[in-house]
A and B are shown apart, each in its own frame.
Chain A
Amino acid sequence: MKKIIEVKALKKVFGKGERQVNAVKGISFDIYEGEIFGFLGPNGAGKTTSLRMIVGLLRPDSGEVKILGENPHKSGNKLKEILGIIPQNPTFYEDLTVEENLWFLAKIYNIPKMIAKERINSLISRIGLEEKKKAITKDLSGGQKRRLNLILALVHDPKIILCDEPTPGLDPQSRIVVWEFIRNLPKQGKTVILTTHYMEEADRLSNRVAIIDNGEILVLDTPENLKTSIGEGDLVEIEVSHLGDTEIESLPGYLLALDPPLHLEEVSTSQSVCTIRALDVVPKLTRILASIENQGFSVNNLSIRGTTLEDVFINLTGRRLRS
């Protein structure tokens, strides 16, 4: 696959002295044509800063970005036409209609009138805003505004789309529309860089995911590889109440030491939840639950799920994504 973006040792520091924040600490990665590259990390991890440096809106303190071999900070207008950015916050003017906002961008990107007309109609139709195209933007619902924000970046038909947190606050229906829209972009020959703190979003949409925290890329791989990297099997989460004298922290040791062994991959506890990862976990559940109750705990709730990127993040940082 063709390398479309190269990022080498990118660094950014904000503030000075005691207020100094190392927002991005020398990240490096490559992005290939036609892939959806996910940046997953909690708020403040450095995702948006990295994105702004890649697109040329923010100058790095050191390191290098190359888009199709060009430095976006030195390329003048060369790269402007191939980059489309969908920021977290609205990029539309609330006093204008949906159509007027799109036409405004078509004009400032110098798109010929006929092409612009066709493209605007197509985008409005694809994102499902036909009925709202004459509506003043401030009268749209939150989901409709998000959808408009998305297509505004596509008016000039960019090759690379940088999508910064596209779905926070969206209702499930709008989220699915947005996900479908993003998922289809590579089919139109576009490369997408997606930042998100929703593991499900990164998991579902990205071909590769970089997990970023405190300005550093912790891991970078396909979602599947990342998930299997922390171990095989499904996860059982058991919520317990404490009845006897035994502390919940003693449960992992007890379960792992059972004889005959249950062959559990991993057991951990957090507050009142005991999390167990094991291969072929369902037949083992009866013995697990009985053992827990033997220790003086009552089981309140139980769920079984596959490994998620959140588990990967917890495994790497010891924290949850949203904590």
Chain B
Amino acid sequence: MSVRQALGISHRIGLQIIRSRWTIPYLILFPIFFIGLYWFGFSASPIGENQTFLLGIINQDEGLTDEIQLLFQNETLLGNGTLQEFHSTDVLSKGFGSEFVNILGNLTYNNQQNSSHIFEITEYSDEMQADSKLKNRELDIVLILPRQFSNASLGILNGYWRNSYGLYFHEYLQTFDASIPDLPINISEEVIIRGDESYLNYQIANSILGNILNAYLDLTSAFRGPGGSIQIAMNEEYQVSIPTFSLFGLSTPGLIAFGIIMQPSLISLFFCMEFRPKNTTFDIIRLSSSPTTYILGTFLIQIPVMIGQAFILFTSSLLMGFQPNGDIILAYLIALTILPFSASLLYFTTAIFSNEDVVGTILGFGGPFLGFMSGAFIEVPKIILFKEIIPTASGFPRDFLIWDLIPLTHTVSALRQVMLYDFTLIQVLPDILLSFVLSLGFFCCSLLFFAYFRFWRSSQ
């Protein structure tokens, strides 16, 4: 295999794309038209607005230690009432966990049309029971507050104090009384959120819950320093921005994926022109290069085309009002790296088994079919192949559905989670890896089939 040969093939297809009268308009206008059509039809269709989500909570928080509680209850300690307000909250006796659960339970949608609660909370002591409810979709999402939640929260407060005044809070107190014990510092505890990542309600609820947790941490920073009162006013005005979704917004990651898978089909069309009856160009290819070189060459040309497509699709959707809740750069990177791989499934299958007419049909039906089946536009029915085998960031393994065989499913899922629900790279890593592995598997199978059908069997 020679890279120069592969680049020669790429260059040739590139020239054909540029020269073809309809290719460039297709590559540029199709995504804009498609995104535009969806925007026109569905941008005013809100999803999940004012919906109450079923939240299961397992509160394992053990609260603050007696020693710390005693410290804060000792009003005479400082003699100036500095801790009064802090003492007035329930945090000391019940712990930060209970307080946080109360906050979640009291949250309402703050708009004029509706003041319904965001979460309907059920508390569980047994994780298994909550998980079982989650599987049956009797719960949308489960939140597990860890044992050290209160201490960790106090540790965060302590950290803020140090960042602001150069001393930990206990160091400040110890200037008055050296016998005051140390308060927690940098306690690392993980809040666990579980749910079925393929379930729309979970995705929206998770996004909201993520915002609340961030706001909670911001609020604890309102812990004020010397001279003022010390408080964590968690029961007071609690403003959380609730992400809003429209059908257009929810569909945008799928649309981007779909727009990009359409162009490998187009390249397949150029590819399949080699196999026209009475076209002997492929004879020359067979006599001059290997199947691997040919595949690589046709694959390489997709990269610049795909970058252009991704750019057009992202820019169009942003200009039309799509507001990403997550990291657009990460989403863009996913689209430019994993999407080409997952799109290769359609591309190589097309190239190997088809002639031009079939490619035409696939262009018409195959793309949208795979788009739908991968959940790009709609939530697909749950047809389970293997139960609970796909690891997720939440630690709650999800089922392997029949649609999970399509690499594109995972790419769309990763894109959606990043763009809509602000998932991080680590959180979408299982999907990215699955997409990559499946695509690579299909790529290898396709290569074998290609060598067999186009190189070996055609010489029989």
Contacts and interface: CB of A to CB of B under 8 A. Distances in A.
Chain B binds chain A: yes
A16 to B, nearest CB: 13
A276 interface: no
A144 B460 CA distance: 33
A100 B12 CA distance: 8
Nearest to A100: B15
Interface in A55-71: 55-59
B459 A95 contact: no
B287 A80 contact: yes
A87 B8 contact: no
B5 A107 contact: yes
B280 A89 contact: yes
Contact of B284 (A58, A100, A152): A152
A239 B1 CA distance: 64
A265 to B, nearest CB: 44
Contact of A55 (B7, B287, B293): B287
A88 B279 CA distance: 9
A58 B5 contact: no
Contacts of B293: 108
B338 interface: no
A: contact size bracket: 20 to 34
A231 interface: no
A295 B291 CA distance: 71
Interface residues of B, number: 27
Contacts of B15: 95-96, 100
Nearest to B17: A95
Tell me whether chain B's interface is mostly helix, strand or loop, or mixed: helix
A92 B289 contact: no
Contacts of A4: none
Interface string B1-43: 0101101110110011001100000000000000000000000
B387 interface: no
B459 A108 contact: no
B281 A80 contact: no
Interface centre among A73, A80, A93 (most CB of B within 10 A): A93
A183 to B, nearest CB: 24
Interface centre among A83, A89, A107 (most CB of B within 10 A): A107
B20 A56 contact: no
A104 B12 contact: yes
A91 B283 contact: yes
A199 to B, nearest CB: 25
B459 to A, nearest CB: 5
A108 B279 contact: no
B287 A83 contact: yes
A56 B11 contact: no
Contacts of B285: 108
A136 B2 contact: no
A85 interface: yes
A272 interface: no
A104 B287 contact: no
Interface of A: 55-59, 73, 77, 80, 83, 85, 87-93, 95-96, 100, 103-110, 136, 152, 156
